[in-house]
């Protein structure tokens, strides 16, 4: 097929060497320890890339899987969740929160500008009883870039966990997961990273895991349960095949 120039935020054009790497023979990811080592190495490279000491996991599913998995794993019935809404993807988080029984409280801001720290500060002074907050790094249709370096630390000052959709930004914009106190940072393979679609990248902090283990009710999903990834290395195994992984060497 003729080489195509695809000029969308993603799926993007995939370089030939990446396409060829996908044609490599793979082992059985469910039973072969070679895959386990490969997965571990890939995740630790991604952790370096995201500037975090937190666990990084790769999930077999497009970016939306990461967004849903974060909400499914954290949300319990009646939990209040703050949704920083200044774009289509920002707003969209409320659907996942409500699907898992949470109450999404939307803080709206113009879809044309970055989220105002001043508005957030004023809002949090009055109301900060939230289990977690969601924010989009770059909201793709408008291209608005939110300043996570100030938004996330402010939320954490109030003890609010931070969930970041960086699907469109990860790899293209600066992203310092630990320094900016991001509990769950989410990315996808097919945007800036320019690999084929089908993989979610998620960093998960100790505090985020703790919120999941301290739940009163079980996580209402199997595929979207981030706790099943928690002890992957200790268990030497995995329940979801990730044979789509390609070497990042
Ligand atoms: C593309 C995108 C998603 C969804 O990713 P898919 O891989 O298409 O499911 C989520 N959030 C943002 C900001 C995106 O640009």
pLDDT digits (tens, 9 = 90+) for 10-23: 899 899 999 999 89
Instruction: For residue 145, give the CATH number of its domain.
Output: 3.40.640.10
Could you give the angle at the alpha carbon of 123 between the alpha carbons of 122 and 128, nearest 5°? 120
For 117, the 3-state DSSP assignment is: helix
Mutate to test the pocket of ligand 1, among 11, 146, 168 (most ligand atoms within 8 A of CB): 168
Assigned domain for 20 exists: no
- For the stretch 173-192, what's the b/e string if a residue is b when 16 or more beta carbons lie within 10 angstroms of its beta carbon? eebebeebbbbbbbbbbbbb
User: How many folded domains does the chain comprise?
Assistant: 1
pLDDT in tens, 30-81: 778 888 888 999 999 999 999 999 999 999 999 999 999 999 999 999 999 9
Assigned domain for 196 exists: yes
Q: How confident is the model at residue 236 (pLDDT cuts 50, 70, 90)?
A: low
CB count in 10 Å sphere of residue 37: 11
Closest residue to atom 2 of ligand 1, CA basis: 167
DSSP symbol at 111: T
Contacts of 137 (CB under 8 A, 6+ apart): 145, 146, 148, 164, 165, 166, 168, 169, 170, 173, 175
Assigned domain for 153 exists: yes
- Reading phi first (left if > 0) and then psi (alpha if -120 to 50, else beta), residue 51 is in left
Assigned domain for 23 exists: no
Domain that holds residue 109: 57-230
Q: Note the pLDDT of residue 34.
A: 85
Assigned domain for 92 exists: yes
Q: Which residues line ligand 1 (CB under 6 A)?
A: 9-10, 62-64, 89, 136, 139-140, 165, 167-168, 188, 190-191, 197
Percent of the chain with pLDDT over 70: 94
Has residue 233 got a pLDDT over 90?
A: no
Assigned domain for 87 exists: yes
Q: Note the pLDDT of residue 238.
A: 53
C-alpha 171: how far from its chain's center?
A: 13
Q: What does pTM read for this prediction?
A: 0.93
Assigned domain for 238 exists: no
């Amino acid at each position: 097929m003729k080489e195509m120039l695809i000029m969308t935020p993603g799926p993007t054009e995939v370089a030939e060497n990446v396409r060829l790497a996908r044609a490599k023979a793979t082992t059985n990811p469910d039973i072969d320890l070679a895959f386990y080592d490969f997965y571990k190495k890939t995740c630790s490279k991604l952790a370096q890339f995201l500037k975090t000491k937190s666990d990084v996991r790769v999930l077999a599913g497009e970016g939306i899987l990461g967004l849903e998995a974060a909400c499914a794993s954290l949300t319990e019935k009646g939990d209040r969740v703050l949704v920083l809404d200044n774009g289509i993807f920002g707003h969209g988080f409320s659907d996942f929160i409500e699907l898992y029984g949470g109450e999404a409280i939307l803080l709206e801001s113009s879809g044309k500008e970055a989220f105002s720290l001043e508005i957030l500060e004023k809002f949090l002074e009055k109301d900060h009883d939230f289990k977690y907050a969601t924010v989009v790094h770059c909201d793709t249709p408008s291209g608005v870039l939110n300043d996570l370096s100030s938004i996330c630390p402010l939320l954490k000052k109030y003890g609010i966990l931070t969930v970041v959709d960086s699907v469109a930004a990860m790899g293209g914009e600066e992203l310092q997961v630990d320094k900016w106190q991001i509990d769950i940072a989410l990315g996808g393979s097919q945007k800036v990273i320019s690999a084929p679609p089908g993989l979610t990248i998620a960093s998960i902090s100790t505090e985020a895991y703790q919120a999941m283990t301290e739940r009163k009710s079980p996580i209402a999903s199997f595929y979207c349960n981030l706790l099943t990834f928690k002890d992957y290395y200790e268990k030497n195994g995995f329940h979801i095949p990730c044979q789509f992984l390609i070497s990042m060497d």
